[in-house]
Amino acid sequence: MEYTHFDQNGNAVMVDVSDKIETKRAAVAKGSIRMSRECYEKIKNQDMKKGDVLGVARIAGIMGAKKTSELIPLCHILNLTSITVDFIMQEESCSVTAVCEAKTTGKTGVEMEALTGVQIALLTIYDMCKAVDKTMEIYGVCLCSKSGGKSGDVVYRLPEGE
C-alpha cells in the first residue's frame, strides 16, 4: 500500500474523491486516560451530579468531531449524521475510556472524526482534572471498527477493553 496524501511529485494533496459514490459510513474509535486513584474517585463520584467532568468532556468530544476537517490539514469536510461519545470507567487501572462513534453518508470514511472526538474528549478530562493530578497519561487511542466504503466492515479492536 502507498500513501494517498501525496501526488507523484511528493506534494501533499487532499485526496480526490470526486468519483467515489456516496455510501453510509461509520467508525468507532477509543482511547483512555490514566490518573491517580484520588482523581479517578472524584470523577466517578461526581458523575452522579450535574455539571460533571464527563458531561463536559462528552460535549467537547462531539463539538471536536465536527471540527475535524479544520484541524487535520488533508481531511475532507463531512456532514456527520451522528456522533456519540461514551465513557467506560476502568476501576483497576484508574482510567476512563472514551468511545466515539461517528456516521455519515458520504464519499470518504469517518475514522478521523471518531478519533478526533476521542482525543478532544480526553484532553477535556485532562484540563478539568489537572488541578488534582498533573501526571495523567492518555494512551490506547486507536480505531475500533469501520463500516461502509470500499473496504467494507472491519473490526480492529473492541471498544470495551482498555
Nearest to 131 by CA among 47, 53, 30, 49: 53
Instruction: Report the nearest approach of its own copies to the CB of residue 89 (Å).
Output: 13
127 is catalytic: yes
Out of 7, 16, 127, 153, the active site residue is 127
The CA angle 62-47-91, to the nearest 5 degrees, is 100
| Minimum distance, C-beta of residue 161 to its own copies, in the bound complex (Å) | 12
CB of 60 to its own copies, least distance (A): 5
CB-nearer residue toward its own copies: 91 or 134: 134
First to last CA, the chain: 29
76 is known to lie in a ligand binding site: yes
Q: Identify the DSSP state of 22.
A: P
Q: How do beta strands 154-155 and 23-34 pair?
A: unpaired
Cβ at position 39, least distance to its own copies in Å: 9
Tell whether 115 is in a known binding site: no
74 is in an annotated binding site: yes
Query: Which of 92/109 has CB closer to its own copies?
Result: 109
Residue 113 assigned ligand-binding role? yes
Question: CA-CA distance, 59 to 124, in Å (whole number)?
Answer: 10
Contact status, residue 114 vs residue 122, Cβ threshold 8 Å: no
CB 80 within 8 A of CB 103: yes
Q: Please check if 38 is assigned to a binding site.
A: no
Nearer to its own copies, 32 or 91 (CB): 32
Cell of 111: 475514522
12 vs 89, beta carbon nearer its own copies: 12
Q: Would you list which residues are annotated within the binding site for substrate?
A: 74-76, 112-113
**Known binding-site residue numbers:** 74-76, 112-113
Tell me which residues are annotated as active site: 127
